[in-house]
Structure 1
Amino acid sequence: MRLRLLLFSVLGFWATGCAPYSAETKWKENPGTVEAPVAVHTQALDLVDASRNRAVPVVLYSGRFSQKSAKTKQKLAVLNHGYGGKNTAYSFIANYLVSQGYLVASIQHELPSDAPMPLTGPVYETRLPHWQRGVQNIRFVVQELERRTPDLNKGELLLVGHSNGGDMTMLFAQEYPDQVREVISLDNRRVPLPRTRQPRILTLRSSDQPADIGVLPTAVEQEKFGIRVIQLKNTLHNDLWDGATANQKQQIIQYIAQFLRTN
């Protein structure tokens, strides 16, 4: 997988005072078991955004789930892969979200015809167009699925993104805070987390890749805005996908589960 081979040329440093909440003191170390869906169905959608003349491939995850009433409106979750990755590479998260009543759309952001993302120069400036394209992809997919599935609960949008996909989700949350309820970042490193209570934010941090200065909120900001910053002690940046170990996946899902249960 290209994600495992990607080398970042510019490394950021932890900002002073940005130490994340300790999982031991702020959340339980083992926040509980999670339920598995009865069945998960996948469907490939070859969407095209006519306004940009751009293909936006999507894998849709759906299914029956035991703990939800059939009359309950589905919530929508959008998954956003890391650079060089595939939209099929986060199925363990998609499957869990389906079990919680979500319709999950996993977007393929990079196409074979796209120019490579710059790995030199001022990181934020050179990569911003790629993140903005991702924001446009997310908006298009959300609007298209709301049109196709009118019984979706439009007030319950959840965005999840790994690495570069996490940067896209944070930029989306900055630009359209009223359109998303919750955002989960799997170790995004470049785009600052919005300092806000809405949308609600969780970020899971790897043990090997630091975020750029200013990306993570300080401890004071975490407390003020209720932002959850969780350090994963034994999980590398490139472990945050289906290639993770069973224990790593369980821990990731446990923290996601607790975050979604917390209002």
Structure 2
Amino acid sequence: MKNFFAVLFSIPLFITSCAVQNKHAESNDYEVKLDTLTFFDQSRNRKIPVAYYYPKTDKKIPNQQVIIFNHGYGFNKGGDYFVYSYLTEKLASKGYFTVSIQHELTTDKALPTEGNLQLVRRPFWQNGSDNILFVLNELKKTKPKLDYQHLTLIGHSNGGDMAALFGNQHPDLVYKLITMDNRRMFLPRTSVPKIYTLRSNDYPADEGVLPNEEEQKKYSMAVQTTSINHSHMDNKGNDEEKKILTDFVLQYLSEN
């Protein structure tokens, strides 16, 4: 009953719209539109700001797939759901309905930096996983014609740990999981959803987070090393780094 009222009383607090032109748009790319809104999860008494990046077109895109993006830790300053726009805009320009969630609020506790991080950060990842589930349920109510059978989750760093936890907890809801240098939460060992991970050149993952060679082969999981620093996987990266990451993500999305 509690979950029912959480959904029933979920309301957008504000919404704005503006046109975003993809700087690297190709001739066959859509112009991209950006909407921002904030949901309220009654059951957790929590605001969830989101940004929608989607193709600006008068024509319906058949079987339009959904991507939910999850940012890395931003020290609770806010605005993190915009700092991967090189990727979220590109994905929208290719026809994907892309949702970027702001997981951290200014009133949240700081992410722990001491102790067993796989344990002390778990509640923060759970909060992110719950945010993803709530936003997904809202999308299904308000935009029922999107293709939810092929949902892709993408997350960088701490957001990748959140996405990995969601993939472990709700494998039936995810078609593909793409992490960008998540380091703490172990990736699901499964062929469904399909698992891909892009790794930085400067930070190793904790033991057990990444599949070994036998697991990669057994479950057809992709572990891709890159020459990109962990902190350059958002908008701070240069054009070459952004292109490398974007090309890999688009390749993974295109695979059956």
- Cα distance in 2 for partners of 1:212, 1:255 equals 23
Aligned position for 1:222? 216
Per residue, is there more strand in 1 or in 2? 2
1:78 and 1:38, CA in 2 relative to 1: closer, same or farther beyond 3 A?
A: same
TM-score normalized by the length of structure 2:
0.85
1:247 and 1:36, CA in 2 relative to 1: closer, same or farther beyond 3 A?
A: farther
Alpha carbons 2:35, 2:52 under 8 Å: kept: yes
1:154 and 1:122, CA in 2 relative to 1: closer, same or farther beyond 3 A?
A: same
Q: List runs of 5+ in structure 2 lacking aligned partners.
A: 1-24
1:206 aligns to 2:200 (yes or no): yes
- Cα distance in 2 for partners of 1:61, 1:257 equals 16
Alpha carbons 1:75, 1:102 under 8 Å: kept: yes
- Cα distance in 2 for partners of 1:237, 1:164 equals 11
1:256 aligns to 2:249 (yes or no): yes
- Cα distance in 1 for partners of 2:156, 2:237 equals 13
Aligned position for 1:70? 60
Q: CA deviation at 1:75?
A: 1.3
- For these two proteins, the number of residue pairs brought into alignment is 228
Give the one of 138, 146, 157 matched to 1:152.
146
Alpha carbons 1:83, 1:163 under 8 Å: kept: yes
Aligned position for 1:57? 49
User: Where do residues 113-124 of structure 1 align in structure 2 (5 Å cutoff)?
Assistant: 113-124=107-118
Q: CA deviation at 1:97?
A: 1.5
1:221 and 1:157, CA in 2 relative to 1: closer, same or farther beyond 3 A?
A: same
1:104 and 1:173, CA in 2 relative to 1: closer, same or farther beyond 3 A?
A: same
User: Where do residues 12-23 of structure 1 align in structure 2 (5 Å cutoff)?
Assistant: none
1:208 and 1:149, CA in 2 relative to 1: closer, same or farther beyond 3 A?
A: same
Question: What is the SS of the residue equivalent to 1:204?
Answer: strand
Q: CA deviation at 1:34?
A: 7.6
Question: What is the SS of the residue equivalent to 1:110?
Answer: coil
Deviations 1:2-46 (A, max 9, x none): xxxxxxxxxxxxxxxxxxxxxxxxxxxxxxx98763211111111
Alpha carbons 1:61, 1:98 under 8 Å: kept: yes
Alpha carbons 2:71, 2:158 under 8 Å: kept: yes
Q: CA deviation at 1:119?
A: 0.8
TM-score normalized by the length of structure 1:
0.83
Q: List runs of 5+ in structure 1 lacking aligned partners.
A: 1-32
- Cα distance in 1 for partners of 2:104, 2:220 equals 33
Alpha carbons 2:65, 2:97 under 8 Å: kept: yes
User: Where do residues 2-151 of structure 1 align in structure 2 (5 Å cutoff)?
Assistant: 37-64=29-56, 70-84=60-74, 86-151=80-145
- Cα distance in 1 for partners of 2:211, 2:63 equals 34
- Cα distance in 2 for partners of 1:214, 1:35 equals 43
Tell me the amino acid that sits aligned with residue 119 of structure 1: T
CA RMSD of aligned residues (A): 1.8
Tell me the amino acid that sits aligned with residue 261 of structure 1: S
Name the % identity.
Answer: 40
Alpha carbons 2:71, 2:101 under 8 Å: kept: yes
- Cα distance in 1 for partners of 2:42, 2:28 equals 37
Q: CA deviation at 1:145?
A: 1.1
